[in-house]
Amino acid sequence: MIPMHKVFMPENIEEVIDPLREILKSGWIGEGNKVLEFEKQIGEFIGCRNIVALNSCTSALQLALRLCGVGVGDEVITTAMTCMATNEPIVLTGATPVWADVQPGTGNIDPESIREKIGIRTKVIMVVHWGGYPCDLDEINAIAQEHGLKVIEDCAHAWGSKYKDKIIGCHSDFACFSTQAIKHFTTGDGGILVCKNSEDYERARSLKWFGIDREHRHENNLGVAEWDIVEAGYKFHMNDIAATIGLAQFPYLDDLVTKRQTNAAYFDECFQNLPKVELLNQSDDRKSSYWLYTIKVQDRERFIKFMSHKGISTSIVHARNDKHSIFANYNSTGLKGLDDFSKSMVCVPVGQWVGADEREKIVWAIKSQDW
């Protein structure tokens, strides 16, 4: 069976084990120099210095909402076409998620729908780059600036994607990445918060660890470290074990993204003009890193069963959030683009484990259209 997802580790596993062994022997396994090194390398890749390494992308989203001042009575315009991890943090702040529609040809949030949903209680626009394909960030940020709103990008799918020749992560007020097990690369589990504003960055570094400003440590006359904690924070920090696993994968990151893009381009070429298959829209001004390769198909349930019978895993990956019981009290009417996209979209394997033989097997099965 060709898997839908697969954890990446270097073929020579000692490249991970050797530095990890040194960290474990050192006795310092919490947040330390390895996390700082990890943040530095992430910043160099993205092109932004304000990087905060965390224990999950969900923590990054929750922290970003906190930095935006979101709380009870506020509204966050968001998309339902995502993992529940995007929208549960909104509910946990006491705010209300307001569903904007998505573009049926991409699965991404629709800027015109965002504009229609803005009200007096709106505080933040939350966007998700579905599968790694960047949203219309210029339009979205222009709308936000016009109305005095903040933009948070959920970039869990989008490591290495580009929008107008610029790596995703530095376009909006906040960008949140995932290094969970099956993403482009992994730290075992983890997340990254990118802050455009240096003041937000400094506050985030404090809030990630109980509100303690570890950069300004001092000791009392008993030799005990003391801090004046001015606001309650969280235990969201990354540790050196996770950072070490991530650092060992850095030499491979460009190749991992390129492999996905190469497979996706081949699929695009092979799946043109198939009566039962519709490819998603693409613009020349952006490039997906293809955490997911998504198509729209007729008779999706039969397609998934057919592909499984052929030894190929497929998945919708995320169900639309507005149908979960926890979001039942929030209006989800009038989402015609979401209705269209969610009823027929499905994802096929596209990652580095899809070699030439696996790719041909996937192409042969889909081009047969025997489901």
How does 261-287 read in b/e, with b if 16+ C-beta sit within 10 Å? bebbebbeebbeebebbbbbeeeeebb
> Can you say how many angstroms the Cα of residue 74 is from the centroid of all Cα atoms in its chain?
24
pLDDT at 228: 82
pLDDT at 213: 77
Quick count: other Cβ atoms within 10 Å of Cβ 292? 27
On the CB side of 16, CA atoms within 13 Å amount to 18
Q: What is the DSSP letter of 72?
A: T
List the domains of the chain with CATH numbers.
14-252 (3.40.640.10), 253-368 (3.90.1150.10)
Catalytic residue numbers? 183
User: 218-219 and 191-195: which strand pairing?
Assistant: unpaired
- Spell out the per-residue pLDDT of the chain, length 371, in tens: 999 999 999 999 999 999 999 999 998 999 999 999 999 999 999 999 999 999 999 999 999 999 999 999 999 999 999 999 999 999 999 999 999 999 999 999 999 999 999 999 999 999 999 999 999 999 999 999 999 999 999 999 999 999 999 999 999 999 999 999 999 999 999 999 999 999 999 999 999 999 987 777 677 777 777 778 889 999 999 999 999 999 999 999 999 999 999 999 999 999 999 999 999 999 999 999 999 999 999 999 999 999 999 999 999 999 999 999 999 889 888 999 999 999 999 999 999 999 999 999 999 999 999 99
Quick count: other Cβ atoms within 10 Å of Cβ 189? 16
CA–CA separation, 54 and 201 (whole Å): 13
Task: For tokens 């339009």, name the residue.
Answer: 139
Encoded amino acid at 338, one letter: L
Nearest to 211, CA basis, from 183, 235, 191: 235
How does 303-335 read in b/e, with b if 16+ C-beta sit within 10 Å? bbebbeebebebebbbebbbeeeebeebebeeb
**What stretch of H or E contains 343?**
helix 336-344
On the CB side of 145, CA atoms within 13 Å amount to 9
3-state secondary structure of 364: helix
